[in-house]
Amino acid sequence: MEITPLNTSTSTVIRSSLIIPSFTQILSELIQNSLDAGSDSIEVTLNLMKGNESIRVKDDGSGIGKEGLSKVGKRFRTSKTLNETNLGSVGSYGFRGEALSSIASLSLLTVTTKPKDIDKTYTKILKSSKTLYFGIDSSKTINADNGTIVNVKEMFHNIPVRQKELADSNEETLLRQCKRLIEVFALSRPGVKWLVWDEKGYGDRKLIMDIRGAKSSVQIFRFLYGNALVKRVQSIRVSAGNKRVDGFISLFGDIAKSHQHLYINNYPMGRSDLHLSIARRFANSRFGNLATSGEHDSGNRQHSASEKRQSPRRLVRHPIYVLNVTVPSDDVDVSYEPAKGILGYKDYGKIQALLHAVVDEYLKKNGYNRQDNGAAASPSPTKQSATTKRPHGKSPLAKSNTSHNNVNSNWDLTRPAPLSFSAIPPKDSAVSAVRIPPEQLRMNETAAIPPISPIPPISPISSIPQWITNLEKSVDNGLLPFRSSAYPRKKRTFGEMQQEDEHTTTNVYDRDPANVLAARPISLESITKTPKIDVQLSKSSLAQARVIGQVDQKYISTIMPTSSKEKAVVLIDQHAADERISVERVLHDLCEGFKNDTIPITKLKHIPIIVLISSEAKILALDGILDVFGRWGIHLVLPETIQGDYAQLEVHAVPTVLASRLGKKEGVEMTRLIRGYLAILEEDIGGMKALIDSYQMNQPEINQMDGNSNLDRSHGGHENWGKEMRFMPREMLELVNSKACRGAIMFQDTLTPDQQNRLVLQLAQTDFPFMCAHGRPSMIPLIAFKDSQSIQSKRKIDWRSFKEKNKV
Ligand code: ADP
Ligand code: MG
């Protein structure tokens, strides 16, 4: 490989004052070089011992020839052919030829390398930009066909300020940052294998990351962070002219924003305006709201546990995505500042608009955002409509005619998706759709991409009859708004709410401040528009519901009083209701059990052995952590000493309700539970301890509740188990949900009147009767009447002819 100087016109636009500011930045540059060299496997060794910090990156890439190596360490030397046309082209992170020379100026840098068809290995050692050695490497450190080892020691030895910064940095924090950096690169380059070692002293090193290559970033994501957040994802492979977006967006939300990975030409972007504007689109759609999350949910799928972890008052869900935008090199500003992780773009607006289009399409596809409600997802409707004037009006997501067939709608699930990405336009129109006159683009820089071509309405996934679907749609886009028009919509504190309760004569609200959601009535605006009828249902309505009968073997039709002393016909989804009842029963028992340390356990005969990496085991060994697991009914036994890279953990007992799943010999689910929970505990062991401590303080109260918790519930007394819920291991919550779903009454199950009554009664006793385990509304108010007389004497509903008329 030839290493040539940058031509001056290029090098002068490049900021010459690049200074590599930090340990992690050095690591980042070395990784980028290895990836640029086409490596399949990268091994990183980090030494974070104070005063002895070093980074070693070994790869199996192209290597550097002797001639090239002789130039390494000189500024603006790069092998990456440089002219303005291919800067930033795919697969090339570096084009400045500055990283190694900068590193050489502030450390002791050793580069050992062997290109493919040369059988000699060369080494170059530089310190403070001076070459200390350049010649054949006799130690044969590279025994493969080709590859490079770059070793950086004595960092910042000549820059006291930076040196002090490094000395003052927290070792753990630094290690975490390095791991995160590697994860971020690994996500965008799924084919690459990674080994990361933490070197403590000479010869004492621990494997801290071992990422096997995979086919897609989803697989890498699962490997790194577990399956829970990305059980179902929408694969994204979209091209718009000379730009592409690849990656995935999860159908699940997260409590944190930590999994929003954006890349431009594989270069990871720091948190940026692009992230923010994407977040805004999600937040403004139905995706962002728990109450509306169950749209695509039918039957036995599970929702992310994270939604349920949150306090019922704050139901924000953050999206999880890995998206790489590929732009042609001429969109990239040459003079970017790599340390900040933000590239400069000549046309930032185009990239933003493309990402917006992808997100909007995703939201629409997945039923989070109906067309007729499109404005909700667009923070600037005016700009949106301005773009409709674009010629062609074709989707920028139009499939590129060079790209793979049928890749735009890759769903990563076993169940095939009923929806597909935008229709494939004819070849020529695909091209014209993306060829946007430059003036126009400049004009519309912030919203250049036209709206996506109309997509037929989403067809229902389940077998809900059309007339119900139509009805649902006519009601605020198919969702029952959880709001009360009797009360102002402003946020109220618990205190205010209690006060209001005291002055309320009708018993609309349950008087439990912990049950904000449960207590909030459902309101339904009239489906006939005129006259306007408001239906508000509360838990007390439900308790007084009278069962009429089963409809379509799916719903139980009931008449119940509304808060405004009217009556309403309400259909209750029998599956959702039953599922809700059993989920709450189990969750309640688990949370109460956690509180009182009384979760019934099953001792395991065949003890599953869980393998953890030693760093995880060390967290587990910290004071109080095993006790927390024990309180959840998971009894773990750690080996006496943790040696080597891995630790074997024994599972002695699991909660009886979940024994069939968590007690499995192979321990797959248990491993996931422990891994996931450790990460959460590590972050918030303080909060957890405070919770447990609070039990000690309220001891008498707890004793009172002991033993009769289930009975208590039937009298409408709700215990405050929301706090425990939030700390419940996510896997546990998911197992409960999936168990409840499978055990629940299904559609097409015929119920006797007695069973129907019991179901409604039990539902009335739950804390969150208005939604199923997956957050889907469990009932549909049909119509409200002024008084019960008129409904019985004047207007008996003729269901049969109604259904016939609507061709059910
Ligand atoms: P840039 O990456 O911007 O070209 P660098 O200073 O990072 O500049 O690297 C200088 C040159 O050294 C690269 O262009 C490349 O030819 C060579 N090089 C650096 N690291 C490696 C590596 N791991 N494998 C192969 N070549 C490398
Ligand atoms: Mg580089």
56 lines ligand 1 (CB under 6 A): no
How high is the pLDDT of residue 642?
Answer: 76
The label of the residue with tokens 């967290």 reads 619
Cα 125 to Cα 70, 72, 149, 153, 605: the distances in Å are 11, 10, 12, 11, 59
285 lines ligand 1 (CB under 6 A): no
Query: 218-291+317-366 in CATH: which number?
Result: 3.30.230.10
Query: Which residue CA neighbors atom 2 of ligand 1 most closely?
Result: 94
Cα 715 to chain center, whole Å? 39
Residue 181, φ and ψ in degrees, nearest 5? -60, -45
> For residues 431 and 271, which has the higher predicted lDDT (pLDDT)?
271
What average pLDDT does the segment 480-509 reach? 32
Residue 255, φ and ψ in degrees, nearest 5? -75, -25
| Listed ranges 49-63, 98-112, 164-178, 516-530; the one with the highest mean pLDDT | 49-63
How high is the pLDDT of residue 429?
Answer: 29
Query: Which residue CA neighbors atom 25 of ligand 1 most closely?
Result: 63
SS3 at position 694: helix
How high is the pLDDT of residue 149?
Answer: 96
Q: Are 339 and 20 in contact (CB under 8 A)?
A: yes
Query: Which residue CA neighbors atom 23 of ligand 1 most closely?
Result: 34
Closest ligand by atom to 64 CA? 1
Cα 713 to Cα 501, 585, 632, 762: the distances in Å are 20, 10, 22, 10
CA–CA distance, 85 with 329 (Å, rounded to integer) = 6
Q: Which of 300, 117, 370 is nearest to 734 (CA)?
A: 300
> What residue ranges of the chain are covered by domains with CATH 3.30.230.10?
218-291+317-366
Mean pLDDT in the chain? 70
Cα 607 to Cα 221, 548, 643, 654, 669: the distances in Å are 29, 51, 21, 11, 14
How high is the pLDDT of residue 522?
Answer: 41
CA–CA distance, 626 with 643 (Å, rounded to integer) = 19
SS3 at position 8: helix
What average pLDDT does the segment 485-501 reach? 34
CA–CA distance, 637 with 30 (Å, rounded to integer) = 41
Q: Are 508 and 540 in contact (CB under 8 A)?
A: yes
63 CA closest ligand 1 atom index? 25
C-alpha of residue 422 to centroid of ligand 2, in Å: 38
Query: Which residue CA neighbors atom 16 of ligand 1 most closely?
Result: 79
How high is the pLDDT of residue 380?
Answer: 38
CATH 3.40.50.10490 describes domain 8-213: no
Please, which pLDDT band fits residue 219 given cuts at 50, 70 and 90? very high
CA–CA distance, 62 with 695 (Å, rounded to integer) = 61
57 CA closest ligand 1 atom index? 23
> What residue ranges of the chain are covered by domains with CATH 3.30.565.10?
8-213
How high is the pLDDT of residue 174?
Answer: 92
C-alpha of residue 148 to centroid of ligand 1, in Å: 10
Residue 285, φ and ψ in degrees, nearest 5? -100, 180
C-alpha of residue 33 to centroid of ligand 1, in Å: 5
What average pLDDT does the segment 446-459 reach? 33
Query: Full-prediction pTM beyond 0.75?
Result: no
Farthest CA pair distance, the chain: 103
C-alpha of residue 194 to centroid of ligand 1, in Å: 19
How high is the pLDDT of residue 113?
Answer: 95
94 lines ligand 1 (CB under 6 A): yes
The label of the residue with tokens 């080892």 reads 149
C-alpha of residue 207 to centroid of ligand 1, in Å: 26
Instruction: Please state, for a pLDDT cut of 90, what percent of the chain lies above it.
Output: 24
Q: Within 10 A of 710 (CB to CB), how many other CB atoms are there?
A: 11
79 lines ligand 1 (CB under 6 A): yes
Query: Which residue CA neighbors atom 11 of ligand 1 most closely?
Result: 78
Amino acid code (one letter) for 468 = I
111 CA closest ligand 1 atom index? 20
**How far from each other are the two terminal CA atoms of the chain, in whole angstroms?**
71
What average pLDDT does the segment 252-278 reach? 86
How high is the pLDDT of residue 454?
Answer: 34
| Pocket mutation for ligand 1, best pick of 33, 60, 112, 151 (most atoms within 8 Å of C-beta) | 33
72 lines ligand 1 (CB under 6 A): yes
CA–CA distance, 451 with 561 (Å, rounded to integer) = 44
How high is the pLDDT of residue 318?
Answer: 87
CA–CA distance, 289 with 460 (Å, rounded to integer) = 20
User: β-pairing, 108-114 with 601-603?
Assistant: unpaired
